[in-house]
């Protein structure tokens, strides 16, 4: 995937999980990290950006 595609994936994932319980969010990030550490980190950062109003 290109960097732009990766960013879109991270941001779409963050938007999709928005409103879920913290436990669910943490579990999803852990699952993403198991698949690929960069994926988990990207999703975590996108979730934080969404929470801060930066997304």
What CA–CA distance (Å, rounded) separates 21 from 31?
A: 15
**Does 28 score more than 90 pLDDT?**
yes
**Pick from 43, 45, 34, 35: nearest CA to 12:** 43
Residue-level pLDDT at 55: 85
Residue-level pLDDT at 21: 97
Q: Where are the domains of the chain?
A: 3-52
Kindly provide the b/e burial profile for residues 12-21, where b requires at least 16 CB atoms within 10 angstroms of the residue's own CB. ebbeebeeee
Alpha helices for the chain (secondary structure H): 3-17, 22-35, 37-51
Mean pLDDT of 11-29: 97
Sign of CA dihedral 48, 39, 25, 16: positive
pTM beyond 0.95: the answer is no
Residue-level pLDDT at 44: 98
């Amino acid at each position: 995937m290109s960097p732009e595609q990766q960013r879109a994936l991270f941001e779409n994932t963050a938007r999709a999980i928005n409103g879920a319980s913290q436990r669910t969010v943490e579990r999803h990030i852990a699952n993403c990290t198991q698949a690929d550490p960069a994926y988990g980190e990207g999703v975590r950062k996108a979730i934080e950006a969404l929470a801060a109003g930066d997304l």
